[in-house]
Structure 1
């Protein structure tokens, strides 16, 4: 896998060289914007407002506009020389329990591979220590044009660097909670329903939208119609919820006899 970043995982005086590569991918057919009349691709031009002309990729830099209106132009070499400790280092600040990190903070994950034979032993030691203690490492690192917060966690003997949203990026939900009262009997029945449906195999689920999209694309290429989807399963209405729960309880009781 192509390395997206290389540097060191550091914890105190310990330093482990690693390479990061993407842990996820999107296998669905990629859609592009096209002209509906003839299928021609829609291209987005890069135009310089000052000179009113198209500019090439190698002419493009990044810029920051100062309060007085002046633009500070930043080139790749400027970003490569940032005075930032985490520019080439995943610096572990400490360790927390797995339940101490709100899943809402999780962003994309990367595989961290040991960078060189001499790194194999300290890499394996870090992964195994995280697995045995059941803790996550909390770290910061800089990638591309921003510094990221991350957790380091083990998965099947591999170190995962899971980027996190910064706490200030998480929006407050506002007043959207329900104040409707519920009884203990209703809670007990709802808990029974949850237990009855426990044990789903996540690995057995797949992207049906992507499959349907691929079916439509293939059918249009071959000049034929595509299979119509089945009727959607009727959703359980609120008024039917208690009936569904009671039915499950009765069915379960019959099987136990």
Structure 2
């Protein structure tokens, strides 16, 4: 497991009963997590003294029960990077802290490359990886279909003091953007993708990870430079194993570029128990 264990402003305090107790800076939140199928030892103390508790609805979705007054948003830091945090109606906060394990790896790869690096961040959300890559010195193209997430990413970059870095923010269907980049002859040294399990494009196109990921990865092969640095695939889709990502990278990246492939779970340490919380999977190819 790749564990993001060097946070100072974020912490999984405890887990149990299908929920996790988290510290985001000075704010304590209680949120559901489908991986937590073990019982809660003691539903008292810190579990009760929270700023906000997200409750799932039996009919789908859910809502926040705010116990204490919170600002509309606040910020937390990771190393020299900073991010705006805001509880959303879908239980998320605008950041996946486990991805810090990838940020650290990526920043080291870019900083050690000894040459200009151009990175494409696809399904880029609020730009955690974009901020990390830009901080390390890469030119970045950030693509997401949601206009609000792209704006959030711009604000995260500015918050981190990176507003003047060479980053292009694009609101577009990711698959169509890659096809256009192929026609234009544009190329990248690193590609990051964090595809959804299921989605629809602006013209009704359907994305289903199990059917769409391999063809999409094949398309991305055509926009890699002759000397690519890395390819990173993240997935939160239940039922897809790290070996699936490893196999796809073995079939696409390795025959053309050689290099090394690694895959596994990604997670966060749990302070109270000393265990790790699984948060998804990743596959990495690197030169």
Answer yes or no: same fold by TM over 0.5.
no
Task: Considering fraction of residues, name the structure with more strand.
Answer: 2
TM-score by length of structure 1 reads 0.24
Where is the helix percentage greater, Structure 1 or Structure 2? 1
Could you say which structure has the larger radius of gyration?
Answer: 1
Q: TM-score, normalised by structure 2?
A: 0.22
